Amino acid sequence: MDSSKLNFGDYVNSQEYMTPDYSQLIQTYYTDVTYLVDLLVKLAGVYNVLINSADVLNRIALGKIKK
């Protein structure tokens, strides 16, 4: 089937768009979600480190100003 003559609905339902092997599709989805969750956890950890570092630096700066 010539994909240049397909509308969106035909293209989505064609074999060129989605694999008939749904187990592979689910595995790919699971892998992507796992990667995104892992990335989010790492970013949250980095965010916490940055917030704690800024808090310590603010305490040091305020301590020097008060003296």
- Average pLDDT over the chain, rounded to whole? 78
More confident of the two residues 30 and 53: 53
Please give the DSSP secondary-structure letter assigned to residue 18.
S
Report the SS3 class of residue 6. Answer: coil
Domain boundaries, the chain: 20-66
User: pLDDT at position 10, please?
Assistant: 63
CA distance 62 to 34: 42
pTM (two decimals): 0.50
What integer is the mean pLDDT of 48-54? 94
CA distance 17 to 8: 10
User: pLDDT at position 66, please?
Assistant: 58
pLDDT in tens, 11-38: 556 656 556 677 777 778 888 999 999 9
